[in-house]
Amino acid sequence: MADYTLHCFVESGNAYKAALMLQLTGCDWQAEWVDFFNGAHRTPEYRALNEMGEVPVLVDHGEGDLVLSQTGVILYHLAGKTGMYKPQTPQEEREVLRWILFDNHKLTGYLSIWRFLHRFLNKGGDPEAEFMKGRTIAALKIVERHLETHDWLAAGRPTIADVSACGYLFWPDHVDLDWSQFPSINAWLKRIQSLENWAAPEDIVPSGPQPA
Ligand SMILES: N[C@@H](CCC(=O)N[C@@H](CS)C(=O)NCC(=O)O)C(=O)O
């Protein structure tokens, strides 16, 4: 058995954050596909694993099958165990936490819902989708401004804050956006792609049948 099992599905940028971290740190892991589009995450079995009914969930077999949910927690756990992509000082710790919270709330938080409405529900023009689009653009502008003067979000090197924030950004054509207005984000994504062991979501996270 592998050291870790990640409950995941390829359409999830949240799952990709955890998978990417496992990949970047060279962990021995296996994927357990979640049939999200048929509601597998709402079943009693899945809720026994994660009462929040969210994907991803990471099981750390080396720690007595420790079950972890919330990507921020998963990323911190893996950084602690591998010593990679982790904050090294209290100041870096605060910055990493600050960007992960911002990502969860404002960047991934809005972008994932906009993408879901636009790409999977075909409701791109609806007022809810337009609202989410506006909030996503506002969050991207904040990240863009920061990256104009920083190579990485939280420290002078890549950390789990970068792994978190890039989760939904390798699918530029999944939302209706002019990415040329974010040159610093584009350059930062290229830096992430050049990290050793980087892999695209489709190459490391399993897929099921195409969602209808
Ligand atoms: N803040 C959570 C977000 C996880 C999340 O929302 N995952 C989606 C799939 S990408 C989900 O499971 N949604 C189910 C729901 O909201 O009911 C994390 O970082 O793990």
Instruction: Give the Å distance between the CA of 188 and the centre of ligand 1.
Output: 25
pLDDT digit string, tens, across residues 130-185: 999 999 999 999 999 999 999 999 999 999 999 999 999 999 999 999 999 999 99
Residue located nearest, by CA, to atom 20 of ligand 1: 70
Q: What is the pLDDT of residues 12-64, one digit of tens each?
A: 999 999 999 999 999 999 999 999 999 999 999 999 999 999 999 999 999 99
**Is the minimum distance from the CB of 12 to ligand 1 under 6 angstroms?**
yes
Task: Scan for tokens 């990679």, then name that residue.
Answer: 84
**Ligand 1 site, residue 164, Cβ cutoff 6 A:** no
Is 17 a pocket residue for ligand 1 (Cβ < 6 Å)? no
Q: Is the CB of 71 under 6 A from ligand 1?
A: yes
Domains and CATH numbers, the chain: 4-85+198-204 (3.40.30.10), 90-193 (1.20.1050.10)
Q: Residue 211: pLDDT above 80?
A: no
What is the 162 CA–ligand 1 centroid distance (Å)? 18
What is the per-residue pLDDT for 209? 81
Going from the Cα of 149 to the center of ligand 1, the distance in angstroms, rounded, reads 31
Cα separation, 209 vs 109, whole angstroms: 25
pLDDT number for residue 142: 98
- The pair of structure tokens assigned to 160 is 């789990």
Distances (CA, A) of 52 to 1, 18, 29, 110: 26, 17, 23, 19
Contact 109, 15 (CB under 8 A): no
pTM for this one? 0.98
User: Which residue has the CA at smallest separation from atom 11 of ligand 1?
Assistant: 54
Q: What is the pLDDT of residue 155?
A: 98
Tokens found for residue 79? 């950084």
The answer, yes or no, to whether any atom of ligand 1 lies below 6 A from the CB of 93, is no
78 lines ligand 1 (CB under 6 A): no
Residue 208 has pLDDT above 90, yes or no: no
How many Å apart are CA 4 and CA 29, to the nearest integer?
Answer: 5
> Rounded mean pLDDT of 119-127?
95
